[in-house]
Amino acid sequence: HTNFPFVRDFKFENDPHYHKYKQGQYHFPNDESEQQRENMKHHMIVALCGNKLHNAPLSDPRKALDIGTGTGMWAIEMGETYPEAEVEGIDLSPIQPPFLPPNVHFIVDDIEAQWLHKDDSLDYIHLRHMVPSVKDWPKLLLRRTGAYNDSKSLSAEYL
């Protein structure tokens, strides 16, 4: 878990800017045009999934984790949909908005580093568009025991 000021630094390269925390681990910029692209992908996935944020049979989730939260749109909408649940988004890049529902928070950290969550503390884990970013999928998947898992990615290969 990272709470150091340098995680909010950005690297500027030929106009777009990139996150500096664990620099190079995520290959896309985090500037405004990239954030708009991420938000567009969020709306596309939700529309493709019948305007549902998830497919799990959740009625009263206690805690949800959004891995690779990006702009945080999914986590914010999940927090608004389930106001009694604690929703946490985690990302290498600190690009989430400052004004949030009271049950939503974000941390800047690496999902492949040591987790602070107990295996049984999560009801739902959400990953989206993380295929190129995760180096060790078996290790990540083994951490997620006891929770509903929802992983989605768009692929140009199938479009």
Helices of type H across 12-136:
32-48, 73-81
Task: Report yes or no: 74 and 106 within 8 Å, Cβ to Cβ.
Answer: no
Number of domains in the chain: 1
Is 48 part of a structural domain of the chain? yes
Helices of type H across 7-130:
32-48, 73-81
Tens digits of residue pLDDT in 52-110:
999 888 888 999 999 989 899 999 999 999 999 999 999 888 878 889 999 999 998 88
CA–CA dist 67, 128 (Å, integer): 8
Question: What is the span of the domain harbouring residue 74?
Answer: 5-154
Is 149 part of a structural domain of the chain? yes
Calculate mean pLDDT across residues 20-37. 65
Q: What CATH number did the domain enclosing 59 receive?
A: 3.40.50.150
Structure pTM? 0.75
